[in-house]
Structure 1
Amino acid sequence: MRALKELSLDRKQLPSSLCLLKNLKELILKGCKRLVELPESIGHLTGLAFLNLKGCKNLSRLPRGIANLKSLEILHLSRCLELENLPEEFGDMIALKELIADRTAIKQLPSSFGLLKNLEELTLEGCTSLVELPEGIEHLKVLAFLDLKGCKNLESLPRNISNFISVRILRLSGCSKLEELPEEMGNMIALRELIADGTAIKQVPSSFGLL
């Protein structure tokens, strides 16, 4: 089945032969509630562009080998309730444009996250264990959409947030521990929509008038 380009499965464990499908472009494992882990060899699917793991509520980790998916553009991790961390090598996924990881148990993003130069959309809505964003995340120069809604333990935004020169939409609703916005936020010249209801913000920065 070397010509197979799209595969949808509902299994507890992936067959080892799956990684021989060099031409596979899409892998859909949405709602595989029994799936606990992916094989390290998934990194051999070098042509994979779309990976959907939405609703794999028992998936507890991603293999380090996932960083070898150099063609992956879209990764859906929504409602992977047991997923607490992303591999440190995650930043090697240089083609990634869209990461949807809402309602996961992610506590922190890897330090390599800022290497995702092509990332345009980052959704972390409802990641209630997330406390902060990593240093270097401001290097995501083409990021246009950042959703942190409901990250109720997020205490701060990076001071270099002004480097988010392409962010158009920033959602902070329900970040109940967020007390302030960085003074440099007024330099986010592309910002068109800021939603920050239900936060603990006491005042807006003086640079706000520059938006």
Structure 2
Amino acid sequence: MLLIAGLGNPDSKYLRNRHNIGFLTLDAIAEHWRLGPWKARFQGAACDGVIETAKGPRKVLLLKPGTYYNESGRAIGEAARYYDIPAERIVVFHDELDLAPGKFRLKLGGGHAGNNGLRSIMAHVAGDFRRGRIGIGHPGDKSRVTGYVLSDIPKADQGWAADLMDAISRSADLLATGEFDAFQTKVTHLAPAPGKEES
């Protein structure tokens, strides 16, 4: 089984925040592959199901932690222990300040770079998990970061955000089969970062 988690905050007032783009990505995956319904499990909202891939059906569990962003590891760790899912079979989608808006990178392991959600996961999950880093850009000053990530995705960015979440959803079968490089390549092809032409 593959555990796909998204980072965000559960209250409705945070729904469209930049910080919730991980939650929004999971909603898109669930809708595209008709997974669900969502149920209260593992200190959050979870849904499971099967993704049909070129290599046959693959079971996946989607999880939106209800523990708030900075405590995400509690929920993800609980789900991983329950199903005995190793770290390398965990993918976490989250907003990334250090990438330009619309840029996407799938990365295995690494530090938390000040992201408290990742810090929490690292405290509750042993080993390297994959991070689906969704670039939101940086406000330019450290003092403005909190307000920036807790602001709604602006209208000017909603186009690339929708395109990128759609590309991730349509490519999730490659995640499910462990074809991580192919997943990265397909997502980048389907939703090139704003201002860049497809090659």
TM-score of the pair, normalised by structure 1: 0.23
* Structure with greater strand share of residues: 2
TM-score (normalised: structure 2): 0.24
